Amino acid sequence: MLNVALGGTLYQDIPAQIAEALGHNSKDARSSRIHPVRIEPGSRIAEAIGATDISVNSLHHQSVRDVAPGLVATAHSPDGVIEGIESTDPDWWAIGVQWHPEEMNDAPEPWDRGIFKAFANKLTQR
């Protein structure tokens, strides 16, 4: 939604539009880690979660196609699908991820909770 709201485009259906795509719309439990994601070192997402190579739950059939002005793709799955974007504006801290960190609160890995902690920290810095 963030990407489209700012003028970017979507792949409307990953399996139909991206040859050799991984399964991004898993029928497994919402809390199952399905595929790896590589995050750009030094990105806001990497700083928030404290890692650059993670596994995520995956429940989507759409993804970012053309990144909107003012955003940059900083996380990708091995098939090239964009899994994370963030603002390039140093005064606007905004990130978006394709996976569902809200479903992973009980997971032993701290990655997903790191996203929420980063948002909370930014709110308290206002």
pLDDT at 94: 95
DSSP state of 68: P
pLDDT at 126: 64
Among 27-31, 48-52, 92-96, 106-110, where is mean pLDDT lowest?
A: 27-31
Average pLDDT over residues 112-119: 90
Residue-wise pLDDT tens digits, 53-71: 998 988 777 899 999 999 9
Using only C-alpha atoms, what is the Rg of the chain?
14
CATH number belonging to domain 2-124: 3.40.50.880
Q: Contact at 8 Å (CB) between 18 and 62?
A: no
Phi first, then psi, for residue 82 (nearest 5°) are -70, 125
The pair of structure tokens assigned to 12 is: 């409307």
Phi first, then psi, for residue 45 (nearest 5°) are -65, -45
Residue-wise pLDDT tens digits, 39-49: 999 999 999 99
Residue-wise pLDDT tens digits, 100-111: 888 888 888 888
- Residue 110 vs residues 25, 114, 116: alpha-carbon distances, Å: 23, 6, 10
Average pLDDT over residues 68-82: 95
The pair of structure tokens assigned to 52 is: 């650059």
Compare 77 and 18 and report the one with higher pLDDT.
Answer: 77
**Whole-number average pLDDT of the chain:** 88
Locate tokens 């003028």: which residue? 7
Sorted by sequence, the CB contacts under 8 Å of residue 100 that are 6+ apart come out as 30, 57, 59
Beta bridge partners of 21: none
